[in-house]
Amino acid sequence: YDIDDEIKINIRSETDYDKSTGMSVWKGSEVMCTYLRQNSDVVNNKKVLELGAGCGLCGLVCRMALNPESVLITDGDHQVLINLRYNVELNGLQLADAATLKSSNATISCPQLIWGKNHAIKFAEQYGKQDVIVATDCVYIPQSVSPLFETINELLDPSGLFLFVNTCASACPMEDVLNIATEFGFDCFDDELWYHDDDREKKKHPVHVFRRRKEV
Task: Give 108 or 168, the one with higher predicted confidence.
Answer: 108
Least Cα distance to 136 among 38, 193, 208 occurs for 208
Task: Give 102 or 186, the one with higher predicted confidence.
Answer: 186
Task: Give 191 or 99, the one with higher predicted confidence.
Answer: 191
What is the pLDDT at residue 103?
65
Q: Alpha-carbon distance 6 to 135, whole Å?
A: 27
- Helix axis angle for 57-65 and 27-38, nearest 10°, is 20
For 28, phi then psi, to 5°, come to -55, -35
What is the pLDDT at residue 203?
87
Least Cα distance to 108 among 135, 132, 88, 136 occurs for 88
- Residues 89-123 have pLDDT tens digits of 999 999 998 888 866 666 899 999 999 999 999 99
Least Cα distance to 62 among 72, 74, 51, 52 occurs for 72
- Residues 114-166 have pLDDT tens digits of 999 999 999 999 999 999 999 999 998 889 999 999 999 999 999 999 999 99
Average pLDDT over the chain, rounded to an integer: 90
